[in-house]
Amino acid sequence: MATSLVDIHPTILAIKKPQSVHRVVMVNTRDGPKECYGGIGLDDIETIMQAGMVEYTKPFINSLPEHMQKMDNLMLNSSSAQFRVYQQADQRELATLHTTHLVDEFEQPLHSMEDYLNAYTHVFQKSPPLSSYSENFLIAAPGDWPTFYFIKKLIAHNKLTHNIIPLQGPFHVSLNLHDDHVKLYHFFYSKLYSFVFGGKLASRPKPYRASLVITAAFLVGSLCVT
């Protein structure tokens, strides 16, 4: 079963389709050189990595913009009110997604590149306005790793005709980052969790517990800096 949702924000400007949507790079395959759409330019990656390494010489707090280095209670409350929390047991926040619209719910496995191609073909056939929109504007497609991976493959093989930009959604990136970080530094977070909240932190804690203990560590660090 597949569900197609569109999140529409009237106050956010649409991104117009550029002359060239995806970078084209040459890659070497067993059948010889081929064009790869949406490929990665090694020169650009090197430039980004070199710029990022400069920030690694500073503590994390000091690498943030100056206005983010101090706690602002009003901003914190405002930001918290805008969070969409999916990983906790309380799902009441889901009922407030006023900007989300259901396109269709249909039988479709999502285990391969062809499955995703069939799913997107169905969605755009089901919603002609969405198809027309994609002819002039870019559509961001956030999702988990399989979604990102298979859409990238469709783009690389030039099989996806609509202007879709796959993204690792902030929600999934945050979950993966929290999970990996807590596992890597479990020796520290287990002691912090026991001291602050009592009890024992599992070796692979639930997402909301990992987020909780990381937030606690961040707040302690912020107070020490300020």
- Percent above pLDDT 70 for the chain: 86
Task: For residue 22, give the nearest of 117, 168, 154 by alpha carbon.
Answer: 154
Task: State how far the Cα of 158 lies from the Cα of 26, in Å rounded to an integer.
Answer: 13
Tokens (6 digits) for 168: 């690792």
pLDDT at site 92? 55
Q: Which residue has the higher pLDDT, 117 or 75?
A: 117
Note the pLDDT tens digit of each residue in 184-206: 999 999 999 998 888 899 988 88
One-letter-per-residue 3-state SS of 102-148: EEEEECCCCCCHHHHHHHHHHHHHHCHHHHHHHCCECEEEEECHHHH
- pLDDT of residue 95 exceeding 60, the answer is no
Host H or E run for residue 76: helix 73-82
pLDDT band at 137 (very low <50, low <70, confident <90, very high): very high
β partners of residue 112: none
- The per-residue pLDDT for 83 is 53
Share of the chain above pLDDT 90, in %: 23
User: CB neighbours (10 Å) of residue 46?
Assistant: 10
pLDDT (0 to 100) of residue 56: 72
What pLDDT is stored for residue 85 in this prediction? 47
pTM above 0.75, yes or no: no
Rounded CA-CA distance 78/37 in Å is 40
How large is the angle between the packed helices 207-225 and 186-197, nearest 10 degrees? 80
- Mean pLDDT is lowest, of 78-87, 131-140, 165-174, 212-221, for 78-87
pLDDT score for 86: 46
And the tokens for 146? 């399989």
| pLDDT tens, residue by residue, 11-64 | 888 889 888 778 888 888 888 888 888 877 778 788 888 887 777 777 777 777
Helix (H) or strand (E) holding 44: helix 42-55
Residue 127, Cβ neighbours under 10 Å: how many? 17
Q: Looking at residue 82, what is its pLDDT?
A: 56
